[in-house]
C-alpha cells in the first residue's frame, strides 16, 4: 500500500513536507521505531523529493495507543494468530489541518487526480490553483466509491456562464469598434447629428 501511495504522491504536483504531511502508523505493536525508520528510508528513497523527510512521519506504539487511534479513525483490523497476520481493509485517510478526517481512500493504488482534489478540499483551498478550484466546483467526492465524480449540472452551469461571458465580451468589443468607427466618420465629414 505504501508503494501505491508513494507512486500516487509522485504524480501529485504538491510536495510532502511543503503543502502537506503524511503520517504512516503501524497497527502492529511488535513493530519498533527501527523498523519504522528503515521503512521510511525506503519510501523516501523512492519518493525522492527534497524536504520530504520532515513531512513524512512513520509511527509505532503500544497496543493501547494503537487501539485508541484506530478506534477514533474508524479503522478496523483483526489479528489472526494462525497466520501471524493482520486482516484489515487497506485505506488511507486525508485529514483537515485541524486533524478531522475529511476523506477515506480504499485500496492499494490511489488515482493521483482524486488524491490531489482531496488534499485541496481538505486544506480548505489553502493549496491548489484557480483551475483546481474550478475542477472542485465541477466534481464531488463520493465516500461510497472513494473517488471524485463529475457533477453534470455544475459543468453545464459553468459552460453556460462561460458562453454568456464570451458572447458578452465579443459584443462589447464589436459595439465599441462600431461606435468608434461611426464617430470617426462623422467627425471627418463634418456632420453632427443631435438627438433630442
Domains of the chain as residue ranges with CATH: 2-124 (3.40.30.10)
**Torsion angle of alpha carbons 123, 129, 130, 136, nearest 10°?**
-50
The reported pTM is: 0.69
The pLDDT of residue 193 is 59
**Residues of the chain under the 70 pLDDT cut:** 125, 179-196
The pLDDT of residue 195 is 58
The pLDDT of residue 65 is 95
For residue 143, the tally of other CB atoms under 10 A from its CB is 8
**pLDDT per position as a tens digit, 141-196:** 887 887 888 878 777 887 888 888 889 889 889 888 876 665 555 555 555 555 55
Helix 112-122 to helix 130-138 angle, to the nearest 10 degrees? Answer: 100
The pLDDT of residue 92 is 92
Q: What's the grid cell of residue 132? A: 483546481
DSSP 52: G
The pLDDT of residue 158 is 79
CB-based contact 12:119 (threshold 8 Å)? yes
Report the relative pairing of strands 56-59 and 22-25 from DSSP bridges. parallel
Q: What's the grid cell of residue 115? A: 488524491
CB neighbours of 60 closer than 8 A, spacing ≥ 6?
Answer: 25, 26, 29, 31, 32, 33, 35, 36
CB-based contact 57:22 (threshold 8 Å)? yes
The pLDDT of residue 37 is 96
Amino acid at each position: 500500500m505504501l508503494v501505491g501511495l508513494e507512486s500516487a504522491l509522485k504524480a501529485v504536483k504538491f510536495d510532502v513536507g511543503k503543502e502537506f504531511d503524511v503520517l504512516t502508523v503501524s497497527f502492529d505493536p511488535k513493530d519498533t521505531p527501527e523498523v519504522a525508520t528503515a521503512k521510511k528510508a525506503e519510501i523516501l528513497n523512492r519518493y525522492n523529493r527534497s524536504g520530504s523527510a520532515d513531512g513524512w512521519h512513520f509511527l509505532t506504539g503500544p497496543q493501547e495507543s494503537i487501539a485508541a487511534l484506530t478506534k477514533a479513525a474508524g479503522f478496523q483490523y483483526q489479528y489472526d494468530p494462525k497466520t501471524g497476520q493482520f486482516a484489515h481493509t487497506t485505506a488511507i485517510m486525508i485529514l483537515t489541518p485541524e486533524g478531522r478526517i475529511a476523506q477515506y481512500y480504499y485500496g492499494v493504488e490511489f488515482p493521483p487526480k482524486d488524491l490531489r482534489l482531496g488534499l485541496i478540499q481538505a486544506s480548505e483551498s489553502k493549496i491548489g490553483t484557480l483551475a483546481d478550484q474550478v475542477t472542485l466546483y465541477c466534481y464531488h467526492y463520493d465516500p461510497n466509491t472513494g473517488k471524485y465524480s463529475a457533477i453534470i449540472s455544475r459543468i453545464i452551469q459553468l459552460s453556460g456562464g462561460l458562453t454568456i461571458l464570451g458572447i458578452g465580451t465579443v459584443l462589447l468589443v464589436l459595439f465599441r469598434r462600431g461606435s468608434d468607427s461611426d464617430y470617426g466618420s462623422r467627425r471627418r465629414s463634418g456632420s453632427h447629428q443631435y438627438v433630442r
